Structure 1
Amino acid sequence: MNFTKTMSAVALAAVATFAISATDAEAKKVRWKMHSAFGTNLAVIGPVGPRVSGWINEASGGDFDVKVFEPGALAGGYAYYDPVSQGAFEAGYGTPGANQGKNSAFAFLSTWPFGPGALEFNSWLKYGGGVEIGEELYGRDNIKYNYCGMIPPETSGWFRKEITSLDELKGLKMRFFGMGAKVMQKFGVSTQQLAAGDIYPALELGTIDATEFSMPAIDRSLGFYQIAKFNYFPGWHQQSTTNEILVNADKWNELDDQKKAIFRISCDANIAQELAEGEFLQPAAMVANEKDGVKNVSWSNEVLDQLRGAWEEVLQEEIAANPDVKKLYDSYSAFHETYKVWGERGYLK
């Protein structure tokens, strides 16, 4: 009888211990919601959210689960800054240039006209101080900035008719991103920054006359080739473009060191994979566009010189108007001065 009672007590104690352990284990699990600025069916940039969240889940053994939501489910495409800052949801995936309405300096964390290619840009961000400045700027609004992706050059526009002179741009309504939009405005273009899913309907309805968005593979998945038959190169306004995952700073600070490391490593892995996939997919998309009647057109050197001249004006205006832009651009310029002894000699022209 005593033996039976003793064994029953041991069994009950074991059950209780297991229940407590299970409760503790569940309490340690982290469940986040992450908005995606881009539809997950969009080439190259669309799969990033599910890819990164999948790596985080797998590496943490299921203890860190980040659920990705399509544009519009938690917020509009580019409208994730304030909700992340305020903690409405924990994370938002997009690109810093989407937030330039908050601070024009964010555009320079994303891309800028006649800016660096992916290798130089990545080097400055990771080792030249770019990420640290980004963390400072976003930190003012209770946001942890995570550099989390890089794509190759974009195209510089889809037009319904061939453009033989920049004078022909005057009066056009065009979707245009980032600092490049300010350059286009110098030539009389009325610009709008539309999220990906809003561009095709605006183009189809004539709300805009022309557009740019991204690389050929991404643009093709958005269907621009069906309406605009002249696609212009090179992407002078975006020679490379970064992605970000913004995290509410309070939620980030609650993570243990292991989960923070998993998050950072997943972003680093995505930078490499996204850039490789971006390069891989473009040739086939350009050939497919040509088969569908698109003419791939290169801007003349004369036009590029005019665009560069306008950009120099815009850059000086931005530096004068915003000390954060000056800080970022001074940081990059100092890095570039050091880098160019290699950059100008190490690669075939």
Structure 2
Amino acid sequence: MTTRRKFIAGAGVGALAAPLATPVLAQSTITWRMQTYAGPALAEHVVKPAIDMFNQIAGDRMQIELFFADQLVPTGELFQAMQRGTIDAVQSDDDSMASPTEVTVFGGYFPFASRYSLDVPVLFNQYGLNEIWDEEYSKVGVKHISAGAWDPCHFATKDPINSLEDLKGKRIFTFPTAGRFLTQFGVVPVTLPWEDIEVAVQTGELDGIAWSGITEDYTVGWADVTNYFLTNNISGAWAGSFFANMDRWNELPDDLKTLFRVCCDQSHYYRQWWYWGGEASLRVNGPKMELTTIPDAEWAQVEEAAVKFWDEIAAESETKAKVVDIIKTYNATMQKAGRPYRYG
């Protein structure tokens, strides 16, 4: 790791994170180092276009060097590195980077909190989650900049999953909170570095993955080592954010703060259509994985268990209870609104 870090800190950075048009940097150029949760293939879609755009517009006033999953520090250490200022900014979910806040459990895939990707920005921008996240991260010296949605959470497995019984004993790479929820159905959550997942499936260390939708399975190579894709999902969208060290953020001029926010919003927008279209197209046209489905009546057990899980989380603190109440209110509103917001 030490050798790797020295390499990345030196000449390797330009090749890894070259912007669209690299300006001649002035002595006064502000430089940030930012690490994403995503590996190189996935980062090409979920973050790199936005950072390239920022660098091109900011020019010699500011440049952001982008690093991919585990390049500077392991994903589980991202929060600490950002809090210390070792890394200036991060793109991740709260859960994966183990942030010490009351809202960490809701990052990534909080079971059945959302059904569609649009649910996430509505919860943050219209139902008060932005204010709660801002308050929680401000307490620990980190600026929560912007939250958005990614893909839904599905199982990609070597063996077919046609019933809840088929989940028992399956060693699955997934997020901490999703894994905690799924253990009641016999799933064995496994934590490994992101870059090791494909090989772990090939060697039998893992039976499958519950970390993404089908778009990522194809993009990062997991569709090449798994045979089946379960159409039931445990969440409609991954919830992730852009974060920055509070001191570094406060040092920025207001116009650069605005530019960074605009580029974050562009990233959120890109993902909305890239995932939405990709999930449907690859289910219909993708040649690599066979689709399986657990019947609705049986899957209802998982959905009912999620509501009980929400109550367990709400009992842990006042802030968690507040977030759970918002999620319940939101979903009840969507259900009452009917089509196209909710079906059935």
Output the TM-score relative to the length of structure 1: 0.82
Q: Specify which of 268, 274, 279 is matched with residue 277 of structure 1.
A: 274
Deviation at 1:52, TM superposition (A): 2.0
Q: CA RMSD in A?
A: 2.5
Provide the residue aligned with 2:33 in structure 1. 33
Q: Which secondary structure state, in structure 2, belongs to the residue aligned with residue 203 of structure 1?
A: helix
Q: Deviations over 1:189-225 (max 9, x none)?
A: 2112444322112211222222122121211233333
Larger gyration radius, structure 1 or structure 2: 1
More displaced 10-residue stretch of structure 1: 330-339 or 60-69 = 330-339
Q: Specify which of 204, 221, 242 is matched with residue 239 of structure 2.
A: 242
Provide the residue aligned with 2:310 in structure 1. 315
Provide the residue aligned with 2:4 in structure 1. none
Provide the residue aligned with 1:329 in structure 2. 324
Written as runs of structure 1 = structure 2, the 5 A alignment for 1:165-204 is 165-204=163-202
- 1:171 maps to a residue whose letter is G
Provide the residue aligned with 1:18 in structure 2. none
Deviation at 1:104, TM superposition (A): 6.3
- Matched residues in 1 for 2:231 and 2:333: separation? 29
Does structure 1 retain, via aligned residues, the 8 Å contact 2:50–2:267?
Answer: yes
- Matched residues in 2 for 1:161 and 1:73: separation? 32
Judged with a 3 Å threshold, the aligned counterparts in structure 2 of structure 1 residues 132 and 61 are, in CA distance, closer, same or farther, namely same
Does structure 2 retain, via aligned residues, the 8 Å contact 1:165–1:303?
Answer: yes
Q: Specify which of 324, 328, 338 is matched with residue 344 of structure 1.
A: 338
Provide the residue aligned with 1:143 in structure 2. 142
- Matched residues in 2 for 1:202 and 1:336: separation? 37
- Matched residues in 1 for 2:58 and 2:318: separation? 40
Judged with a 3 Å threshold, the aligned counterparts in structure 2 of structure 1 residues 104 and 297 are, in CA distance, closer, same or farther, namely farther
2:55 matches 1:57: yes
Q: Which secondary structure state, in structure 1, belongs to the residue aligned with residue 162 of structure 2?
A: coil
- Matched residues in 1 for 2:40 and 2:30: separation? 23
- Matched residues in 2 for 1:53 and 1:318: separation? 35
Percent identity between the aligned chains? 20
Judged with a 3 Å threshold, the aligned counterparts in structure 2 of structure 1 residues 329 and 268 are, in CA distance, closer, same or farther, namely same
- Matched residues in 2 for 1:99 and 1:303: separation? 33
Deviation at 1:347, TM superposition (A): 4.7
Provide the residue aligned with 2:88 in structure 1. 90
Deviation at 1:67, TM superposition (A): 0.8
2:74 matches 1:76: yes
Q: Specify which of 240, 243, 259 is matched with residue 262 of structure 1.
A: 259
Provide the residue aligned with 1:211 in structure 2. 209
- Consecutive unaligned residues of structure 1, counting only runs of 5 or more, are 1-24
- Matched residues in 1 for 2:44 and 2:298: separation? 32
Written as runs of structure 1 = structure 2, the 5 A alignment for 1:97-112 is 97-100=95-98, 102-103=100-101, 105-112=103-110
Provide the residue aligned with 1:6 in structure 2. none
Q: Deviations over 1:321-345 (max 9, x none)?
A: 233321222233344555655x425
- Matched residues in 1 for 2:59 and 2:85: separation? 25
Judged with a 3 Å threshold, the aligned counterparts in structure 2 of structure 1 residues 348 and 313 are, in CA distance, closer, same or farther, namely closer
Judged with a 3 Å threshold, the aligned counterparts in structure 2 of structure 1 residues 265 and 28 are, in CA distance, closer, same or farther, namely same
- 1:285 maps to a residue whose letter is L
Q: Which secondary structure state, in structure 2, belongs to the residue aligned with residue 299 of structure 1?
A: coil
Does structure 1 retain, via aligned residues, the 8 Å contact 2:147–2:242?
Answer: yes
Judged with a 3 Å threshold, the aligned counterparts in structure 2 of structure 1 residues 218 and 264 are, in CA distance, closer, same or farther, namely same
Does structure 2 retain, via aligned residues, the 8 Å contact 1:151–1:278?
Answer: yes
Deviation at 1:287, TM superposition (A): 4.6
Does structure 2 retain, via aligned residues, the 8 Å contact 1:174–1:208?
Answer: yes
Written as runs of structure 1 = structure 2, the 5 A alignment for 1:109-128 is 109-116=107-114, 117-128=116-127
- Consecutive unaligned residues of structure 2, counting only runs of 5 or more, are 1-24
Q: Which secondary structure state, in structure 2, belongs to the residue aligned with residue 234 of structure 1?
A: strand
- Matched residues in 1 for 2:147 and 2:63: separation? 17
Judged with a 3 Å threshold, the aligned counterparts in structure 2 of structure 1 residues 164 and 221 are, in CA distance, closer, same or farther, namely same
More displaced 10-residue stretch of structure 1: 256-265 or 102-111 = 102-111
Output the TM-score relative to the length of structure 2: 0.83
Judged with a 3 Å threshold, the aligned counterparts in structure 2 of structure 1 residues 101 and 208 are, in CA distance, closer, same or farther, namely farther
